[in-house]
Structure 1
Amino acid sequence: MTERPLVLLDVDGVLNPARRATLRHRRHDIVLDGRTFRVLLSARQGRGLLALAEATGAELVWATTWEDHANTEIGPRLGLPPLPVIAVNGDPGSRAGEHFKTRHVAEYVAGRPFVWFDDSLGIADWEYLKDHPGVGDFLLVEVDPEDGLTDGDMTHAGDWLAARAAGVDDAGTCSPEPAP
């Protein structure tokens, strides 16, 4: 494989699940522009993402409304180094029912294969990416916002990336179905 694949990361609903703190997720109060955000984060997820990137040769990238704040407030709490950021804020919204981040992702990936972990993806996003010039192979992993990113989600992504690297025929553009 000549193109290094990407693993795109959302924060809220993915790395910051919408449930109460657990033994695995620690609560953090983050103050930005005078507002306090309560987030639940797990260093275990950070280690898992780093292992996924290393095992597959993928590059981790933020695809979140936290944008650059993800590198200063989220990444360090997960044990992640600074990552590239896809600028997604300031967009007026959907053109064809896709998530407002989808067009930014399509432009950013520039033909590189990618896995996108997000909790707000659906058929319109898959259709938009499938039909967008310059978007190659991709896997959308719709994460359950209550649970956040799971080991199963990461295994699904790792299997897809490994199959793609091995040249398996069915490793191409995926269906919009969630991970098993």
Structure 2
Amino acid sequence: MSALWVFGYGSLMWRPGFPFDAQSPARLEGAHRALCIYSILHRGTLDNPGLVLGLDDGGDCHGLAFRVEPGTESDTVAYLRRREQVTDVYVETYREIALGDGTGQTVTALTFVADPHHPQYAGLLDLEAQLRIVRAGRGQAGANIDYVLNTVEHLEALGMHDALLFTLAERLRRSAGDGAET
């Protein structure tokens, strides 16, 4: 059996929660990172949903690939299903990714993509709608704004640029700094 790889593009990058023996920057083609999922548990509620990341159709996404520690594959998949599939808003799939470790290697990785037919799928929202939702969202895992800013900080630390997410984060930081609702 070949190694199990997991592709992370959001909170899995900074909090994988499973044992791994290697990690690498990676690129997935055919989907892009987007705040396209209404969060009704972790970063919002049914009455006041937040927004979390999903892989949406088209483009490409830079993230992190984790090679799961041998012998923990079944436990890791079970953990990821409990974590990511609470409301079945993601589709569990295996996609080919290019590792950015200088080897030129491609591997097949487990990842979770947005289900555009699910009621929690927000689709493409304009920046003002995203700002409004993220500012107001708070769920079991805390404030939605913390999720967005933490993700952007980790992307910045990894040298990964996501123009739309960075613009949103800058606006969130600015409004938090002056107390204004810009």
TM over 0.5: no
> Structure 1-normalised TM-score?
0.31
- Which protein has the bigger strand share? 2
Give the TM-score of the pair, scaled to structure 2: 0.30
